[in-house]
Structures are given as C-alpha cells and as structure tokens.
C-alpha cells in the first residue's frame, strides 16, 4: 500500500514509488489478470490457483485503496462482486505487456 510519504511526494525515486504500489508476489499478477476485462472474485481466484483467497482479498483491498482497482458489489442473491482496473490501473498495461513479452522471450517453460 502507498505510504503517507509517497502520497506527500517524499519518495524521490520513481521506481521505488511504483514498487510501493504494485510490488510483491501477487499484485502484478492480479493486475495482469484484470488488464483485459473486469472479473469476479472467483474468476481471479481460478486464474491464480496458488494464491489463497485470504491473500487475494487483502491484495485486492490494497489495490483498491491505492486507486488501481475498483470493486463493484451488486445487490443480488447470490452476491456478485466485480473488480476492474481504474484509469490509473489501466495505465500500467504497457508495463504489464512488456513484462509478459520479456517472460515469453527469456523464461524457459517446462511443461
């Protein structure tokens, strides 16, 4: 989550500031999962099987608090909640696309 220092512009390194927003093991993967369309919690969870639901909930909450993701809850039975990138979150798409490209070109997948 972004610290008060970052919000006040006290972080002088742009990479440090960006990593405060999207750093960690799961946030980039969650953002990548949401980059093309809005998704329900269960869809995100199914696409990232090694991520526990508890951690996914916490990471989505932090991404929402930092203005990268929106959460929309519908008053339906059963309840439906959708997550979508904000404009700020969408602005990370070129970065995520380059990460995908680099991974495809440089990581050997064994499968």
Range 73-92 average pLDDT:
94
pLDDT given for residue 99 in this prediction? 92
pLDDT at 94: 94
Q: For residues 88 and 82, what is the distance between their CA atoms, to the nearest angstrom?
A: 17
The predicted model scores a pTM of 0.85
* Over residues 72-95, mean pLDDT: 94
What's the mean pLDDT in 73-86? 93
Class in CATH terms, 25-106: mainly alpha
pLDDT digits (tens, 9 = 90+) for 88-103: 999 999 999 999 999 9
pLDDT, greater one: 45 or 78: 45
Quick one: pLDDT at residue 1?
A: 55
Per-residue confidence (pLDDT) for residue 20, from 0 to 100 = 87
> pLDDT of 34-74, one tens digit each?
999 999 999 999 999 999 999 999 999 999 999 999 999 99
Beta strands in the chain (DSSP E): 39-40, 69-74, 80-85
């Amino acid at each position: 989550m972004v610290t008060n220092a970052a919000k006040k512009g006290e972080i002088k390194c742009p990479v440090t500031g960006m990593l405060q927003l999207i750093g960690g093991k799961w946030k980039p993967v969650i953002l990548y999962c949401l980059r093309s369309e809005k998704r329900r919690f269960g869809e995100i969870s199914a696409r990232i099987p090694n991520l526990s639901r508890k951690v996914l909930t916490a990471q989505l909450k932090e991404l929402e608090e930092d203005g990268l993701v929106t959460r929309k809850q519908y008053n339906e039975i059963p309840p439906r909640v959708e997550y979508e990138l904000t404009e700020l979150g969408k602005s990370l798409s070129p970065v995520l696309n380059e990460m995908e490209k680099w991974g495809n070109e440089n990581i050997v997948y064994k499968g």
